[in-house]
Amino acid sequence: MASSMILRFPGVAFITGAGGTGIGAAVSKAFARAGCTRMAITDINKASLDHTRDAVLAINPKIQVTAREGDIQDDKFVESLADQVRDTFSRIDYAVNCAGILGKDQRSTETSVADFDRINGVNYRGTWLTSRAALAQMLRQEPLPEHPKQRGAVVSIASQLGIVARPGAAHYCGSKAAIINMTRADAIDYSKDGIRVNCVCPGVIETPMTTGSADVTERLKPAIEIAPMARMGTPEEVADAVLFLCSERASFIQGHALVVDGGYTIN
Ligand SMILES: NC(=O)c1ccc[n+]([C@@H]2O[C@H](COP(=O)([O-])OP(=O)(O)OC[C@H]3O[C@@H](n4cnc5c(N)ncnc54)[C@H](O)[C@@H]3O)[C@@H](O)[C@H]2O)c1
């Protein structure tokens, strides 16, 4: 990377779905490597969240990292987490919403209301709740002197399946399309406040979500093979796009859905 493209991250990063070895964990580690020294991370899985906290501290032991487990579908949890982040750090500069679930392959007529609610509860409602909490905090704070025109940046992880569709995934595709258009609507509403709101639409990425079971790996094969680059992406490749969108290098990028998909959606 040219030195003029070095990204700097003064201030506080807030990352959901940060546990384990997926995209949220890669984003947390990428912030740490890029010099961010204050971070709040959350996930429903405490053990995997602790794993990410340890990985972040292994990169830089001086990083102040708050790790708290909980369910992002629960508005009371999200409110209490936001209060904790405010008490600890007084601000959120980069909010990255990564928590999400995939669910079973099933057409709408085979999908129960409970399955629909579960997917949309985490992917759409959860992302809305954590975005909303971050936006509320950003509205209370002044921009950092290092980027006086940016009060805050929100980046949510949607999916290539928010743009195009595939068989047996109406509930998931709908939940990700919702994130893309929520991103646009929030971008319109908060532009005047100096807050940028964008999302990233990954293709098939090698994470526990896609490699956790032989069944899922098998059903994703056609999606990998049809993409021009014909491989899975890595969580780090998605994290690079996220950090760019959070940074002041993306200062005129607003309400965008950036595909990181090896060309899947151009086919
Ligand atoms: N891996 C892919 O191919 C791919 C493609 C497109 C989009 N995505 C999206 O990327 C995001 C990250 O997925 P990943 O691939 O890293 O998978 P992952 O399973 O490794 O990460 C998702 C994380 O979210 C956490 N989580 C799940 N439900 C939660 C809840 N209710 N509250 C809080 N945390 C919760 C999980 O514990 C997990 O750590 C998801 O939104 C997913 O839909 C992934």
> CA-to-CA distance for 206 and 45, rounded, in angstroms?
19
Q: Is the CB of 120 under 6 A from ligand 1?
A: no
Question: Is the pTM for the entire model greater than 0.95?
Answer: yes
Active-site amino acid positions: 172, 176
- Tell me, what's the pLDDT at 239? 98
Domains and CATH numbers, the chain: 12-262 (3.40.50.720)
> CA-to-CA distance for 70 and 21, rounded, in angstroms?
18
- Tell me, what's the pLDDT at 5? 63
- Tell me, what's the pLDDT at 267? 87
Atom of ligand 1 nearest to the CA of 232: 3
Q: How far is the CA of 21 from the centre of ligand 1 (A)?
A: 10
- Tell me, what's the pLDDT at 2? 45
pLDDT by 10-residue block (mean), the chain, 267 residues: 69 97 97 98 98 98 98 98 98 98 95 98 98 98 95 98 96 98 98 98 96 88 94 98 97 98 96
Q: Of the residues 14, 15, 21, 43, which should be mutated to test ligand 1's pocket, given the most ligand atoms within 8 Å of the CB?
A: 43
- Tell me, what's the pLDDT at 4? 57
Q: Is the CB of 241 under 6 A from ligand 1?
A: no
Give the closest residue (by CA) to ligand 1 atom 2: 205
